[in-house]
Amino acid sequence: MSAEPPRYRRLADELVRLIHAGALRPGDRLPSVRQTQASRGCSAATVFQAYHRLESLGLVRAAERSGYFVAPVAAPSAVRLQEPQPVAVSELVFQLLGTGGHAVHAALGSAFPSPTLFPFDKLRSALSAGSRQLDPAELTQQLPGGHEGLRRQIALRYLRLGMSITPDEIVLTDGALEGLNLSLQLLTRPGDAVLVEAPCFYAALQALERLGLRAVEVPADPAEGADLGAMAELIERHSPKACWLMTSFQNPLGSLMPPDKKRALVELLGAQGIPLIEDDVYAELQHQGTPPLPAKAFSTRGEVLHAGSFAKTLAPGYRVGWVAAGRFAPALRRAKLSQSLSGSWPAQAAIAHYLEGVDYERHLRALRRALAAQQRALRSAVLAHFPPGTRVTPPQGGYFLWVELPPGHDSLALQSAALLEGISLAPGPLFSASGGFRNCLRLNSGQPWTPALAAAVARLGELIRSQTI
């Protein structure tokens, strides 16, 4: 896929290694741009690009007029490799997802983008048009795998990315979530170990718990996702039977694995015969450019089950998702039939009809612009109001910000205090099988930016500053 990395990237990677090795420590000032330009014999632009990358990785911070400094070490970099955890988070997750009966006016803890961002009128027309085209016999003939026209449309979207996926490889599911759950059930037996990220999407932890599986937590970096070195070590130690992770705009980190890392991930898992369940529901919500390729694009042996959804991009509530399940497609098709027969026909037909038209790309462009602008606004407000030492990565897609408060702050206590004032947030321990990330929280940038939201962020900042640590 790629030739030698560009100059700035090699420079950045070298500095990353120095920071990780402790040669550069928190608070250290980096050489100035001019110094580096001279010492490396490269352009100022190259150095700026490299430093900007380090900043986006959360490893350095720019201080106005005084240069770049190595950032304080925060939770993720300090995660130790955990023993596999039997998972018992579901109760906690449901508690943390709830609002304790408080009316919430600032839903910064929400997992959903604002419904105002979606084309409900166009979808309503598509519902009618889709159901006018109904041949009732389809209802039973198209059961295995789901609506054929929709599977074809999804295959065409893969083709735009240069990926050859046949409609037969695609199994339509009730949102990606059902597909992910069924995939995990298919690949494991109770007691098995499964690789997940730390932090990771809580529904993965709940799935593990319901199936009696053990979580092997792979530390993940807010910029580039799961640490493959750590993963290799954990595979050696625990012989996991599957790996469930998000390679693009991960929930909650927003991390994006670069293409080379995705390829390396597929190779690492493939060499051990470990299937990859790739949860890729934010893939089309990149803020700029074209959607990133999934890890599945680098798979040659059908060992990646790639799950997507229209719930985040087009039609929340329709519950239409899919898995392109590689060599597991026949088994997954059967699992879906046994679990719930098929997806809901009107929703599938409506989305198929909508995708046959020309509106989707226009809608996606507008949605991406809105998400990017909202993220900038929320991030600026957080940086302005939260205490010094707070770290907020700027994800390149999706609608979550992962906020690391200085060590000692407690997002659970913060959640309780905030809910009393009608502000929700998603505390860090929601995303961990081992109760980690206590000083972290996930904020939702999927809502139009309003003075009320700005006030809520300012108030959160006050609540954080008032915590005794």
Binding site for a second copy (CB under 8 A): 90, 94, 110, 112, 115-116, 118, 120, 123-124, 127-128, 131-132, 134, 136-140, 173-175, 177-178, 181, 185, 189-190, 203, 206-207, 210, 212, 316-320, 334-335, 337-347, 350
Give 3-state DSSP helix, strand, coil % of the chain, rounded to 5: 45, 15, 40
Nearer to a second copy among residue 60 and residue 430 (C-beta) = 430
Nearer to a second copy among residue 297 and residue 352 (C-beta) = 352
CB of 279 vs a second copy, minimal distance in Å: 14
* Cβ neighbours around 14 below 10 Å, total: 12
CB of 317 vs a second copy, minimal distance in Å: 4
Nearer to a second copy among residue 94 and residue 357 (C-beta) = 94
Nearer to a second copy among residue 100 and residue 229 (C-beta) = 100
Nearer to a second copy among residue 68 and residue 431 (C-beta) = 431
d(CA 303, CA 177): 19
CB of 167 vs a second copy, minimal distance in Å: 18
Contact between 361 and 159 under an 8 Å Cβ cutoff? The reply is: no
Nearer to a second copy among residue 12 and residue 108 (C-beta) = 108
Residues in the chain: 469
- Which is it for strands 400-404 and 440-444: parallel, antiparallel or unpaired? antiparallel
d(CA 451, CA 154): 39
d(CA 427, CA 424): 9
d(CA 372, CA 156): 26
Nearer to a second copy among residue 345 and residue 360 (C-beta) = 345
- Which is it for strands 85-86 and 106-107: parallel, antiparallel or unpaired? unpaired
CB of 136 vs a second copy, minimal distance in Å: 3
Nearer to a second copy among residue 65 and residue 132 (C-beta) = 132
CB of 137 vs a second copy, minimal distance in Å: 6
Which tokens belong to 396?
């390149």
d(CA 215, CA 374): 34
Residue 349: name the closest of 94, 60, 133 by CA. 133
User: CA 167, 169, 175 angle in degrees (round to 5)?
Assistant: 85
Within 21-119, residue ranges assigned H as helices are: 33-40, 44-56, 75-78, 90-97
CB of 238 vs a second copy, minimal distance in Å: 20
d(CA 401, CA 399): 7
CB of 103 vs a second copy, minimal distance in Å: 12
CB of 436 vs a second copy, minimal distance in Å: 21
Nearer to a second copy among residue 110 and residue 255 (C-beta) = 110
CB of 36 vs a second copy, minimal distance in Å: 48
Contact between 50 and 42 under an 8 Å Cβ cutoff? The reply is: no
Which tokens belong to 134?
């109904």
